[in-house]
């Protein structure tokens, strides 16, 4: 992105985020949160961008360290509707702003754009928010052009819950929205919740078109699940397992615009590799 925003170091910022997507968006706007929840798992679930080393970990969302949070004297706490039970305790420490990306009757990617603008206003980064979203639009357009040159087959995106079950992505969620934005056909035509996935038994993958390109999103659970599945007659019999299966690095499936961009880029990259 041209005209990249000046980074506000964590020591100069007093905003705390309880949500990975909001924290990632802060970074995209050039502002580093003072603290976030579940910092220790950031590198596994978000992967990129890296969180600067001086950000404070205030514990998990189920066990916020209120003593540490109070000591930081934040001016603002960023939260989501799914953490509403914490609002009364948090409000005694600092004002709480709730951002809604995942909810009924809406698309996660569209809401991510709107909430990015609102966040930019709250942290006085309006211009940076508009620049970031313009950059996102331009990147999505380039990815759409690249994808259009591939004549790619329908794509099914999953991650494993265990050896028998997976989440398959579509509907109004972030992955589904990113795929639509760049013109990829989602092979999963079934239902999906507003988080953008449906939990299925692996046998349901047999219902997909045999020309499907299957994309598995890391991390893998268990880590050797693909090796173990090779011992399964059902799995081994699936046409797309024999011909078209790719594994991509982790992308926060419940993120915002930054994560949609990362996911869309990884998708086009693996499809281009498969087309060679």
pTM for the full model? Answer: 0.92
| Alpha-carbon dihedral sign for residues 235, 254, 108, 8 | negative
Report, as an integer, the average pLDDT of 171-176: 97
- Reply yes or no on whether the pLDDT at 1 is more than 80: no
Which tens digit of pLDDT belongs to each residue from 66-78?
999 999 999 999 9
- Reply yes or no on whether the pLDDT at 43 is more than 90: yes
Nearest 5°: the CA angle 171, 214, 233 is 120
The pLDDT of residue 231 is 87
**Looking up tokens 């693996």, which residue turns up?**
270
The pLDDT of residue 167 is 97
Which tens digit of pLDDT belongs to each residue from 3-27?
445 444 433 479 999 999 999 999 9
- Reply yes or no on whether the pLDDT at 198 is more than 60: yes
CA distance 184 to 176: 9
Token pair for 236: 């081994």
Contacts of residue 81, Cβ cutoff 8 Å, sequence gap at least 6: 98, 100, 103
Contacts of residue 271, Cβ cutoff 8 Å, sequence gap at least 6: 147, 150, 152, 155, 184, 213
Report, as an integer, the average pLDDT of 159-170: 94
Nearest one of 65, 46, 67, 47 to 57, comparing CA atoms: 65
- Reply yes or no on whether the pLDDT at 50 is more than 70: yes
């Amino acid at each position: 992105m041209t005209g990249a925003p000046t980074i506000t170091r964590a020591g100069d910022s007093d905003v705390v985020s309880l949500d990975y997507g909001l924290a990632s968006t802060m970074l995209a706007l050039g502002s580093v949160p003072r603290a976030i929840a579940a910092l220790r798992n950031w590198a596994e679930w978000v992967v990129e961008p890296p969180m600067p080393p001086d950000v404070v970990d205030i514990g998990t969302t189920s066990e916020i360290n209120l003593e540490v949070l109070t000591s930081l004297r934040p001016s603002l706490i960023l939260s989501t509707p799914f953490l509403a039970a914490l609002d009364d305790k948090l409000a005694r420490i600092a004002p709480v702003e709730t951002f809604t990306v995942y909810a009924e009757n809406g698309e996660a990617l569209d809401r991510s754009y709107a909430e990015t603008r609102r966040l930019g206003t709250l942290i006085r980064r309006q211009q940076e928010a508009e620049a970031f979203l313009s950059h996102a639009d331009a990147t999505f357009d380039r990815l759409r052009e690249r994808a259009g040159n591939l004549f790619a087959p329908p794509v099914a995106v999953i991650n494993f819950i265990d050896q028998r079950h997976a989440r398959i992505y579509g509907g109004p969620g972030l992955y589904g929205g990113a795929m639509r934005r760049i013109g990829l056909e989602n092979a999963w035509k079934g239902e999906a919740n507003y988080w953008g996935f449906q939990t299925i038994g692996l046998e349901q993958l047999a219902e997909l078109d045999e020309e499907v390109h299957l994309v598995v999103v890391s991390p893998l659970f268990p880590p050797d699940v693909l090796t173990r599945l090779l011992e399964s007659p059902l799995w081994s019999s699936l046409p797309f397992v024999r011909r078209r299966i790719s594994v991509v690095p982790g992308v926060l499936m419940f993120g915002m615009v930054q994560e949609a961009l990362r996911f869309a880029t990884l998708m086009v990259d693996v499809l281009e590799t498969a087309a060679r």
